[in-house]
Amino acid sequence: MSIMALAMAGSAIALAASRVGSSKINTAQEEGQRRLELPDAIALLAGAIAVAGSTLGAGYALGSVARGGFAAAAEKPQLTVWLLIMGGLAEGIAVYGLLVAILILGRI
């Protein structure tokens, strides 16, 4: 899921860069495409940053949980359930970032 979210964020940044940097306004209007204005480009960039940041944060949190959780589970096997719970909470960070990006992009 993390790699897919980062790929979507990268494609959103590339889309914003290609539409804003376009100097051919007439051809975009003739083809029926909507030209991306600066506030819309900033919204795309903000959505991409939200997804990329939350995905990187979730990856770091999940790595820390796994490292500490496996060490604790080796000493006390009863802590395995807590390892799964903390891993799920760490993955929730990526989901929240994706929801924020959807809310931002819904305003365009």
Q: What is the pLDDT of residue 32?
A: 64
Q: What is the pLDDT of residue 30?
A: 55
- Of 52, 50, 61, the closest CA to residue 89 belongs to 61
Separation CA 100–CA 55 (nearest Å)? 12
Give the per-residue pLDDT at 44: 86
Show me where the domains of the chain are located: 2-105
In the numeric block, which tokens belong to residue 61? 């949190």
Mean pLDDT (10-residue bins), the chain, 108 residues: 62 62 52 74 88 92 91 88 89 90 84
Cα separation, 1 vs 90, whole angstroms: 13
